[in-house]
Amino acid sequence: MELTKNLTQLKIIKSVLAIVLGSIALTISAKIKIPFYPVPMTMQTFVVLFLGISLGYKIGLATVGLYLIEGIAGLPVFSNSPEKGVGLLYFTGPTMGYLIGFLTACYLASMIKFEDGFFVVLGKLVIATSTIYILGLLWLGTLIGWDKPIFALGAKPFLLAEVFKIAILGLLVKQIIKVRKFI
């Protein structure tokens, strides 16, 4: 009885630690801009997918959820904050759809299995990443108007970077999944 209680407490502590550290990693990934063509890239979507793959959907979603709550509460965790604002005002700006898409992408990435072949993994990563852009573009179009070139503004400049990040994750996915058993 006591051993079971201690193991449960240890699992909870490990989960909370993973959630907090994952949120910190997501914040760092939002702040570092890597020179890339045609626009600099952050590693945010990479980390979102990584969290889903490595932590599973429950802890992964809790991690992304914590990150979003931190940003909504006013902590400067989002990319381009505090320069372009913080809190709910920033969250409900042009990037809200993409930020909400982090949740769907994390969840879908958690569905990748060790047994999945390379091309199945790539397909799942493309679908997961696509949800970020679909939700992002839907919100962006609603916010700035559908008469604007929404795809050209909100997706096209970032697609090459996404292909690069998906390729890296595709190559590392088997090793990343092995981490799950320790969490």
In order along its 183 residues, the chain shows pLDDT tens digits of 787 888 889 999 999 999 999 999 999 999 999 988 888 899 999 999 999 999 999 999 999 999 999 999 999 999 988 888 889 999 999 999 999 999 999 999 999 999 999 999 999 999 999 999 999 999 999 999 999 999 999 999 999 999 999 999 999 999 999 877 776
Distances (CA, A) of 17 to 3, 93, 108: 21, 30, 22
55 CB-contact burial (10 Å; exposed 0-12 / middle 13-18 / buried 19+): buried
Q: Give the per-residue pLDDT at 131.
A: 98
Q: Could you tell me which CATH class the domain 2-182 is placed in? A: mainly alpha
The alpha-helical segments, DSSP class H, found in the chain are 2-31, 44-72, 87-91, 96-109, 118-144, 150-154, 159-179
Q: Give the per-residue pLDDT at 182.
A: 72
Per DSSP, the three-state class of 180 is helix
Q: Give the per-residue pLDDT at 183.
A: 67
* Residue spans per domain, the chain: 2-182
Rg value, the chain, Cα:
17
Q: What's the distance, CA 86 to chain centroid?
A: 19
Burial 74-89 (b: 16+ CB within 10 A, else e): bbbbbbebeeebbbee
